[in-house]
């Protein structure tokens, strides 16, 4: 294989080739590192490259293959971590001046430990928005990540480096986090696949918090099967994590090929036709995607949730209160060390009262109960991820809109699983995305519905002209 062929490999395909001794973990890791070295000066996806660590792990993985000692489903496969997730021996910066000199983490976050235990090879820590909230900022020690489809556009946030690096073929898998859409936004903007699992399905321990009742960790990849493979590795109860749920695992792989014939699937149309007006390209792509599902035998039914602005206001209130509580001491001592966007967004919680926060939590309980009612009789639901394609860095209004009224926050509020995947492109080639929503702790059906659409289209096979 050429170096380009190697960096185009996905998780499942690479793992199978390595296990069959048809692919060297060393060659694959070298190819990914070389591509990062050659192109990341344009993309800025990587905050800290780990070449020595990665090559040592690749050589060990190769020796284990020779000894018939495959460690797990990711044996010899490279991945990368958003730099709010701890990796033992490596600092966790949060893309912030405040943590620029942070000491190395003394332990893996459980999600990182599970990836390493399964044989994964960590290549890098990745760009994010400052503390996963600050936006694409130019007043930080490191520049913001750029979108490989158009370097003048944002790759979405806050898992910006994860999305941009995957689209640029720097690695076949990454982890992101999602508090108000921060896995699904960069997945949509960069033309990749990202899952926000059910709250509690994946442990949060060892991850810098933003809003502990809204935060999620999830997989980001370039196709559905790869995403499912990473999810199965990182999901599961952690008794040391109070946010972690003790629920039985699902057989995700068995669900992928079942199709959607006869399934009743809800369509949350009012998100893009009434609550917010979608860009014409987004609206047209949604209609085309829905027609694919009808052709596959799914029964589509429009369903109603509460209006998007109600979810947006609820999320803003909860996140403001929890983020300020986490940062208030540092803000009081050294507010100017934050970038302007992060400082303003965190400081928004400084005037919130306890009564207002508790009222928002009560609204959340009502919205989650209403969601469960709306989903009755539906196997899953479909809606937009974003109302518009990714904005340019110099489009202040577009950047502000992408942080507020969108199709992502409702599913952080109600804690249900939500997956973003490619569904088309604008006339200029920018990615567009659809969102698949499931019942709580039913990621298997989400993947089933997404995989059926992927098989009928070529959207996950597109790559940027980088």
Q: How far is CA 270 from CA 265, 266, 378, 386, 397, in A?
A: 15, 12, 17, 13, 23
pLDDT for 3 equals 79
Q: In this predicted structure, what is the pLDDT of residue 405?
A: 75
CATH topology of domain 3-461: Amidase signature (AS) enzymes (3.90.1300)
Catalytic member of 24, 82, 244, 317: 82
Burial (CB < 10 A; 0-12, 13-18, 19+), residue 186, is buried
Is 158 catalytic? The answer is: yes
Task: Judge whether 82 counts as a catalytic residue.
Answer: yes
What pLDDT was estimated at residue 2? 86
pLDDT computed for residue 402 by the predictor: 76
Reported pTM: 0.98
pLDDT (0 to 100) of residue 111: 98
Q: Considering the candidates 160, 162, 182, 402, report the single residue annotated as catalytic.
A: 182
pLDDT in tens, the chain (466 residues): 887 899 999 999 999 999 999 999 999 999 999 999 999 999 999 999 999 999 999 999 999 999 999 999 999 999 999 999 999 999 999 999 999 999 999 999 999 999 999 999 999 999 999 999 999 999 999 999 999 999 999 999 999 999 999 999 999 999 999 999 999 999 999 999 999 999 999 999 999 999 999 999 999 999 999 999 999 999 999 999 999 999 999 999 999 999 999 999 999 999 999 999 999 999 999 999 999 999 999 999 999 999 999 999 999 999 999 999 999 999 999 999 999 999 999 999 999 999 999 999 999 999 999 999 999 999 999 999 999 999 999 998 888 877 777 999 999 999 999 999 999 999 999 999 999 999 999 999 999 999 999 999 999 999 999 8
Q: Return the pLDDT at 399.
A: 87
- Given the residues 96, 127, 158, 244, select the one marked as catalytic: 158
């Amino acid at each position: 294989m050429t170096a380009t062929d190697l960096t185009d490999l996905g998780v499942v395909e690479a793992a199978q080739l390595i296990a069959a001794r048809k692919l060297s973990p060393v060659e694959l890791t070298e190819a990914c590192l070389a591509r990062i070295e050659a192109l990341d000066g344009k993309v800025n996806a990587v905050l800290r490259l780990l070449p020595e660590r990665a090559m040592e792990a690749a050589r060990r993985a190769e020796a284990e293959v020779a000894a018939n000692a495959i460690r797990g489903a990711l044996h010899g496969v490279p991945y990368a971590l958003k730099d709010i997730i701890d990796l033992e021996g490596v600092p966790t910066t949060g893309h912030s001046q405040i943590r620029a000199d942070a000491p190395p983490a003394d332990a893996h976050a459980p999600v990182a430990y599970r990836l390493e235990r399964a044989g994964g090879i960590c290549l890098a820590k990745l760009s994010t928005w400052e503390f996963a909230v600050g936006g694409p900022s130019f007043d930080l020690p490191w520049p913001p990540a750029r979108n490989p489809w158009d370097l003048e556009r944002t790759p979405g946030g806050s898992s910006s480096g994860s999305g941009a690096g995957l689209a640029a073929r720097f690695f076949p898998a990454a982890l992101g986090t999602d508090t108000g859409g921060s896995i699904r936004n960069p997945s949509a903007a960069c033309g990749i696949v990202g899952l926000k699992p059910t709250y509690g399905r994946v442990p949060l321990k060892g991850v810098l918090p933003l809003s502990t009742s809204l935060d999620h960790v999830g997989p980001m990849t370039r196709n559905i099967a790869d995403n499912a493979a990473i999810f199965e590795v990182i999901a599961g109860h952690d008794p040391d994590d109070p946010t972690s749920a003790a629920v039985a695992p699902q057989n995700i792989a068995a669900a992928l090929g079942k199709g959607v014939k006869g399934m009743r699937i809800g369509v949350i149309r009012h998100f893009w036709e009434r609550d917010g007006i979608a860009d014409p390209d987004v609206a047209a792509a949604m209609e085309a995607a829905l027609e694919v599902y009808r052709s596959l035998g799914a029964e589509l039914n429009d369903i109603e949730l509460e209006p998007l602005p109600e979810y947006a206001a609820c999320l803003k209130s909860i996140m403001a209160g929890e983020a300020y509580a986490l940062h208030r001491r540092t803000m009081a001592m050294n507010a100017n060390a934050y970038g302007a966007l992060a400082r303003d967004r965190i400081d928004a919680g400084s005037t919130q009262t306890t009564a207002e926060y508790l009222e928002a939590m009560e609204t959340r309980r009502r919205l989650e109960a209403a969601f469960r009612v709306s989903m009755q009789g539906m196997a899953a639901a479909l809606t937009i991820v974003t109302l518009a394609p990714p904005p340019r860095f110099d489009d202040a209004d577009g950047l502000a809109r992408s942080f507020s009224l969108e199709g992502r926050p409702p599913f952080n509020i109600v804690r249900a699983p939500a997956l973003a995947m490619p569904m088309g492109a604008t006339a200029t080639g920018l990615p567009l995305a659809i969102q698949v929503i499931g019942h709580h702790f039913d990621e298997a059906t989400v993947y089933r519905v997404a995989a059926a659409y992927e098989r009928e289209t070529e959207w996950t096979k597109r790559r940027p002209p980088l």
